[in-house]
Chain A
Amino acid sequence: DTAVSQTPKYLVTQMGNDKSIKCEQNLGHDTMYWYKQDSKKFLKIMFSYNNKELIINETVPNRFSPKSPDKAHLNLHINSLELGDSAVYFCASSHKVHNSPLHFGNGTRLTVT
C-alpha cells in the first residue's frame, strides 16, 4: 500500500512545454506539500494545501500552479518549462498539527532539455 504516490517517476521534456505531476495520499492527512530538490540535494518547500486551501506559497514563479481537487490529491502544473526547472519534485503529506512528520512520495525527476 503506497502511502504517498506521485506520477510520473521520470519526466523528460523540452523547454517551453507544459507538464503536470500528480500526487495522491491515502493516509487521511489534511495537508499536502510540494518540495523541490535541486542537483545539490537542497530541499525547499514550494506550496502547501490544507483541506484544499493554499496555505503556503513560497517564492515560486507563477509558471508553477498547484491544484488540489480534494484533500487526498495535490497536482502540480508547470507552464513554459525552463532548463532551471530540472530537479526532483517531491510530494508530501502530514496532519496540520505541530510535530506531525512529513510523509514523502518517491519523487518525480524532471529533466528539461
Chain B
Amino acid sequence: NAGVTQTPKFRVLKTGQSMTLLCAQDMNHEYMYWYRQDPGMGLRLIHYSVGEGTTAKGEVPDGYNVSRLKKQNFLLGLESAAPSQTSVYFCASSYTWDRGYGYTFGSGTRLTVV
C-alpha cells in the first residue's frame, strides 16, 4: 500500500531548464492536487484535478502546467524554471468530499533552481 508517491525527491535545475514532477496514487482517489510549501508562506495550491482528463488552476498557477491523463497520475511541469520556483512541492490526493476523508500527501520534492 504505497499511498502517494512523488518522483524525484530532490532536483537542482538551472534557470530556464524544464522538468516534470510525477505524482502517482494507488488509492483510486478522484481528486489530486499540487501544492508548494515555502518558509513563512505555508502550503499554497498550484493546480488541482477533480477527475481524469480535468485540471484547474489554484492560487499560484503561473509558470506551471499539469496533466492528468490517467486517474492515478498527476504531472506537474515547469517549462522554464525560475529561482522563484525554488520550493518543496507536495502532491496530494483525496476522495470526494462527501466521504469525509482528508488528503493523503506524498513525501515531497525539494527543487532548487539556480
**A, B from the same assembly:** no
A residues near B, CB below 8 A?
Answer: none
